[in-house]
């Protein structure tokens, strides 16, 4: 059986006017909410429906947000616990962190 985290990444929708990235997988939603101010993307909340937990969906949302931050020269401030943990586990993302 293939590892779900290695399967095709979900289609993530960026809604900049709402400050969020969204995805729907198998009829269940996931989201990452952020706010941008003074060149910093503050990640406020990352969540997925219980049916999606353990499938790498929250990680895919984080990768999308971090890629957007990098592409638009934003620094990142991980305010939600998932975002902090993700960045701690992926040291290659450290250059994106905003100074405290």
What CATH code is carried by the domain that includes residue 25? 3.40.630.30
Considering its fold, how many domains does the chain have in total? 1
Q: Which has the closest alpha carbon to 79: 61, 49, 100? A: 100
Supply the pTM of this predicted model.
Answer: 0.88
Give the whole-angstrom CA distance, residue 32 versus residue 61: 6
pLDDT at 1: 37
Percent of the chain with pLDDT over 70: 90
- 88 falls within a domain: yes
Residue 3 lies in a domain: no
Q: Name the band, by pLDDT with cuts 50, 70 and 90, for residue 4.
A: very low
Contact 69, 32 (CB under 8 A): no
* Rounded mean pLDDT, 82-93: 96
The pair of three-digit structure tokens given for residue 80, joined into one six-digit string = 């939600």
- In the chain, the largest separation of any two C-alpha atoms, in whole Å, equals 46
Average of per-residue pLDDT across 65-89: 97
Alpha helices, DSSP H only, in 1-100? Answer: 57-71, 81-89
Distance CA 70, CA 90 (A): 15
Q: How far apart are CA 57 and CA 30, in angstroms?
A: 7
Domain that holds residue 51: 10-96
Q: Is residue 2 part of a domain?
A: no
Reported as half-sphere exposure (CB side, CA atoms, 13 A), residue 48 has a value of: 21
């Amino acid at each position: 059986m293939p590892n779900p985290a290695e399967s095709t990444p979900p289609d993530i929708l960026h809604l900049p006017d709402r400050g969020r990235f969204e995805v729907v997988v198998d009829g269940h939603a996931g989201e990452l909410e952020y706010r941008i101010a003074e060149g910093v993307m503050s990640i406020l909340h990352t969540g997925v429906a219980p049916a999606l937990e353990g499938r790498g969906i929250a990680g895919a949302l984080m990768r999308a947000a971090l890629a957007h931050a990098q592409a638009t020269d934003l620094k990142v401030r991980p305010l939600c616990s998932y975002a902090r943990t993700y960045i701690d586990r992926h040291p290659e993302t450290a250059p994106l962190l905003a100074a405290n």
